[in-house]
C-alpha cells in the first residue's frame, strides 16, 4: 500500500480516475448484470429448471452449441490459411485484403444478416446454384454415411434454415481466428524453420511438426473466441435462420420470444444460463491467452 501512496503523490489523478472508472463500471455494467442474477434468485430450483430445460430450449442449446462449434472449426481451418497467406505471402492488394478481414467487426450484424439472405436464398446469386448441390449432397450423405443422423438437415434449404445459421456464424467468427494468429505468425522466427530444414526435415515435416505446434495455442484461442461469439450472436442469425421452433431457433432468440410474452422471469433464467456459460468460456479464454503468452514469451 505504501508504494501506491508514493506513486499517487507523484502523478496526480489516481483517486479521480479510479473513482470515476469504478462508478461508471458499476452503474453501466455491474449493477444491471447483477439484476439478472438477483431476479433469478427469486425463483425456486424447480421453477428455474422448468424455465431453462423445456424441450424447445434444449433443442436451442444443442443447435447454438453445435453450429457455433462447426463454424468455429471451419474458421480455425480457413482463418489459419488466411493468416498464413497474409503474413507470409506478398501479392498485389494484400493490404486491402488484410483490412477487409475486419469487415465482420465493422459491418452491422443486421446488414450482414440480410446480405447473406440475399446471397444464399434460392433466387440469390449463390443459392441459385448452391442450394440444389446442397440438397443433393445431404441426400447422398444420408444414404452413404448412415451412422450420422442427418434427419435435421435432410430437405433443408441454405437460407431460412439451419445452414443459414452456420453461414452467419462463420461470417461473424472469421476475424477472431485471423487476428489472433497474425501477430504470432509474424513473430515466428525464420531461424526455427531454417534449423528444421538444415536438420533434414522436408517442408511438410517442418509445417506439421515445427510451425503447427507453435501456432496451436493461438489457434485454440482464436477458435474459442469465435465459438463464444457464435453462441451469443443474434442480429445476423435471426434474419437467415428461419426460426422454426425445435428446429432452427437459437437460444438468444428464445430470450426475445419470452420477453415478447412478458415472461421476464423465464427470459432472465435463460439469460443466466447463457451468462454463466459465457463467463466460463471467458475464463477458459483468459487461461488460454495466459498460456499462449507464456508459451510465446510475448
Partner 1 sequence: MAGPATSLAAKPARSGAGTPRVIRNPLWVRVVFMTLALGFLACFLVLPLAAVFAEALRKGIGAYFHSFADPDVHSAIRLTLLTAAIAVPANLVFGVAAAWCIAKYDFRGKSLLVTLIDLPFAVSPVISGLIYMLIFGLQGWLGPYLGAGDHPWFGEWFNQQDIKIVFAVPGIVLATIFVTFPFVARELIPLMQTQGNDEEYAALTLGATGWQTFWRVTVPNIKWGLFYGVILCNARAMGEFGAVSVVSGKIRGETTTMPLHIEILYNENNSVAAFAVASLLALLALVTLVLKSFIEWRHAQSRPAV
| Residue list 81-110, contact with partner 1 (CB under 8 A) | 81-82, 84-91, 94-95, 97-110
Supply 71's cell numbers. 463454424
Q: Tell whether residue 112 is a contact of partner 1 (CB under 8 A).
A: yes
Q: Tell whether residue 69 is a contact of partner 1 (CB under 8 A).
A: no
Terminal C-alpha separation, the chain: 29
Q: Quick one: how far is CA 191 from the chain centroid? A: 34
Q: Tell whether residue 232 is a contact of partner 1 (CB under 8 A).
A: yes
The 8-class DSSP code of residue 263 comes to -
Report the residue number, 69 or 197, with the smaller CB distance to partner 1.
197
Within 177-196, the residues that bind partner 1 by CB under 8 A are 179-180, 182-183, 185-187, 190, 193-194
CA dist 101 and 46 (Å) reads: 46
Supply 24's cell numbers. 461508471
Stretch that binds partner 1, among 22-30, 52-60, 149-157, 241-249 (CB under 8 A): 22-30
Question: What is the residue whose three cell numbers read 449493477?
Answer: 31
Report the residue number, 14 or 150, with the smaller CB distance to partner 1.
14
Which of 115, 135, 138, 220 is the binder for partner 1 (CB under 8 A)? 115
Exposure string over 54-80, b if 16+ CB within 10 A, otherwise e: eeebebbbebbeebbbbbbebbbeebb
Which of 65, 150, 234, 296 is the binder for partner 1 (CB under 8 A)? 234
Minimum Å gap between C-beta 217 and partner 1 is 14
Minimum Å gap between C-beta 50 and partner 1 is 19
Minimum Å gap between C-beta 266 and partner 1 is 11
CA dist 88 and 10 (Å) reads: 46
CA dist 55 and 155 (Å) reads: 23
Q: What is the dihedral of CA 232, 238, 241, 246, to 10 degrees?
A: 70
Supply 295's cell numbers. 508459451
Minimum Å gap between C-beta 151 and partner 1 is 28
Minimum Å gap between C-beta 115 and partner 1 is 4
Question: Is the CB of residue 156 less than 8 Å from the CB of residue 63?
Answer: no
Query: x/- site string to partner 1, residues 196 to 215, per CB under 8 A?
Result: -xx----x--xx--------
Stretch that binds partner 1, among 42-50, 134-142, 156-164, 262-270 (CB under 8 A): 262-270
Report the residue number, 150 or 234, with the smaller CB distance to partner 1.
234
Q: What is the dihedral of CA 59, 60, 61, 64, to 10 degrees?
A: 130
Report the residue number, 59 or 185, with the smaller CB distance to partner 1.
185
Within 127-166, the residues that bind partner 1 by CB under 8 A are none
Stretch that binds partner 1, among 9-17, 50-58, 139-147, 148-156 (CB under 8 A): 9-17
Q: Is 201 left (phi over 0), alpha (psi -120 to 50) or beta?
A: beta
Q: Select from 227, 237, 233 the least CA-distant residue to 161.
A: 237
Report the residue number, 107 or 152, with the smaller CB distance to partner 1.
107
Amino acid at each position: 500500500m505504501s508504494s501506491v501512496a508514493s506513486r499517487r503523490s507523484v502523478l496526480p489523478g489516481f483517486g479521480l480516475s479510479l473513482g470515476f472508472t469504478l462508478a461508471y463500471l458499476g452503474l453501466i455494467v455491474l449493477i444491471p448484470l447483477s439484476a439478472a442474477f438477483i431476479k433469478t434468485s427469486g425463483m425456486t430450483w424447480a421453477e428455474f429448471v422448468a424455465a431453462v430445460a423445456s424441450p424447445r430450449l434444449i433443442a436451442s442449446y444443442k443447435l447454438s452449441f453445435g453450429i457455433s462449434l462447426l463454424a468455429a472449426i471451419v474458421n480455425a481451418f480457413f482463418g489459419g490459411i488466411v493468416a498464413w497467406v497474409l503474413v507470409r505471402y506478398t501479392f498485389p492488394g494484400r493490404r486491402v485484403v488484410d483490412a477487409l478481414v475486419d469487415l465482420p467487426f465493422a459491418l452491422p450484424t443486421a446488414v450482414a444478416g440480410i446480405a447473406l439472405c440475399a446471397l444464399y436464398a434460392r433466387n440469390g446469386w449463390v443459392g441459385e446454384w448452391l442450394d440444389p448441390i446442397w440438397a443433393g449432397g445431404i441426400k447422398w450423405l444420408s444414404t452413404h454415411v448412415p451412422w450420422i443422423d442427418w434427419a435435421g438437415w435432410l430437405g433443408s434449404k441454405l437460407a431460412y434454415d439451419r445452414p443459414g445459421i452456420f453461414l452467419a456464424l462463420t461470417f461473424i467468427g472469421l476475424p477472431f481466428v485471423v487476428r489472433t494468429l497474425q501477430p504470432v505468425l509474424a513473430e515466428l522466427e525464420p531461424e526455427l524453420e531454417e534449423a528444421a530444414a538444415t536438420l533434414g526435415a522436408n517442408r511438410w515435416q517442418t509445417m506439421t511438426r515445427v510451425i503447427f505446434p507453435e501456432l496451436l495455442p493461438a489457434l485454440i484461442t482464436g477458435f474459442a473466441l469465435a465459438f463464444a461469439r457464435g453462441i451469443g450472436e443474434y442480429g445476423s442469425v435471426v434474419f437467415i435462420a428461419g426460426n422454426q421452433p425445435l428446429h432452427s431457433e437459437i437460444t438468444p432468440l428464445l430470450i426475445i420470444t419470452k420477453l415478447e410474452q412478458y415472461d421476464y422471469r423465464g427470459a432472465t433464467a435463460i439469460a443466466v444460463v447463457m451468462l454463466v456459460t459465457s463467463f466460463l468460456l471467458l475464463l477458459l479464454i483468459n487461461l488460454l491467452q495466459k498460456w499462449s503468452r507464456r508459451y510465446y514469451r510475448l
